[in-house]
Chains A and B, each alone.
Chain A
């Protein structure tokens, strides 16, 4: 029995969608993934439809308005599914978790899988509106994001759960794209999350207002400090700093 067998996606509501877009927003650089995911859930009034269950996960629940939640959950609205986590994914759990999620996603026959993330920008304080970059797995994914006019990442190293999403999706011939907004690496960055959400709005042809997100940016920065600290530590453990290096094959 492999680790992947020990991770299950439990659907609390039957999910019958035709070619959905699956968004994945996890704690990462500047908490861009989780902050943008939470804003999308609230603004689009997405409903929880599934959660991830595993003996490999820390024994914890999250409490919100008196209700209890698993740390890794899946939300839905129309033809959109969104996977998010309130805990940084422990390094040893990344590969089995993502493999399980992609196997589950494959059953849904998605037209696109999109990861929501940040890319550290050393001069972030000087940037008013963070730019978004993309990295697509195949021509089909590239075609779908063509209209967004995003700069593509051409060379480099990516570390964390998102590169595993891209590779696993590629293995299963599922079109996937990573969206990365310029962000503070070690501080929660709602401004970067707003940039990602605007790109998602353009991709889905829907209007997602980010004014409220930007208005509550300071509050988010204060209230997600603990998660940012834990995420930063997890990123250090997985060797996130290697993203600053130049891959040997391009020298």
Chain B
């Protein structure tokens, strides 16, 4: 009888623990869903902000280039369109922990004349852009090429890999 009671207590304890775990798991799921929704909202707001932000800084005479960020299992591939940039020596690339900064000097000033709200002549001499990277990358294995005014940077992701044996 004593033994039975002990088993019963153990079972009750296990059920309670399972329940606690499932509550905790539910809470975790809810939290993850909230996080996902928040991320989506943030992306939307950021996207709207980005699309409404002009691709130039008139005060600093800097143009923002068009860039594309793609991601596959192993790496992040960033391509940037840099018209009027001739040589790779004119491109300055800096990798930070979570971002990539590009600065490129144009071979001649790019002139925008009497347009939009500005209505004056402005010369731009430089492209500049900071790209936020979606994942941590292995800075030692980053490779960059520059061809026909298009810069491509391949950034291998920092990932721990474990081979799983199939039995």
Contact = CB atoms under 8 A, between A and B. Distances in A.
Interface of A: 125, 184-188, 217-219, 221-223, 225-226, 228-230, 233
A233 B51 contact: yes
Given A188-B81, A222-B110, A229-B51, 13 more contacts: A125-B147, A125-B150, A184-B150, A185-B68, A221-B81, A222-B84, A225-B55, A225-B64, A225-B65, A226-B55, A229-B55, A229-B66, A233-B51
A225 to B, nearest CB: 5
Interface of B: 47, 51, 54-55, 63-66, 68, 81, 83-84, 110, 112, 147-150, 152
A221 B83 contact: yes
Given A125-B150, A218-B149, A226 B63 contact: no
B150 A187 contact: yes
Contacts of B63: 222, 225
Contacts of B147: 125
A244 to B, nearest CB: 12
A243 to B, nearest CB: 16
A186 B150 CA distance: 12
A125 B150 CA distance: 8
Contacts of A222: 63, 83-84, 110
A185 B84 CA distance: 20
A233 B63 CA distance: 20
A183 to B, nearest CB: 12
29 contacts: A125-B148, A125-B150, A125-B152, A184-B81, A186-B68, A187-B81, A187-B150, A188-B81, A217-B83, A218-B84, A219-B83, A221-B81, A221-B149, A222-B84, A222-B110, A225-B55, A225-B63, A225-B64, A225-B65, A225-B66, A225-B81, A226-B54, A226-B55, A228-B66, A229-B55, A229-B66, A230-B51, A233-B47, A233-B51
10 smallest beta-carbon distances between A and B, as pairs = A218-B83, A221-B83, A187-B81, A186-B68, A225-B55, A125-B147, A218-B84, A222-B83, A125-B150, A225-B66
B118 to A, nearest CB: 13
A187 B84 contact: no
Nearest to A128: B148
Contacts of B55: 225-226, 229
Nearest to B147: A125
A125 B148 CA distance: 7
Nearest to B107: A218
Contacts of A218: 83-84, 149
Nearest to A217: B83
Contacts of B54: 226
Nearest to A191: B148
A225 B148 CA distance: 17
A204 to B, nearest CB: 30
Contacts of B64: 225
Nearest to A228: B66
Q: Which of B112, B147, B148, B152 has the most CB of A within 10 A?
A: B148
Nearest to B150: A125
A184 B81 CA distance: 10
Nearest to B63: A222
A191 to B, nearest CB: 9
A186 B147 CA distance: 16
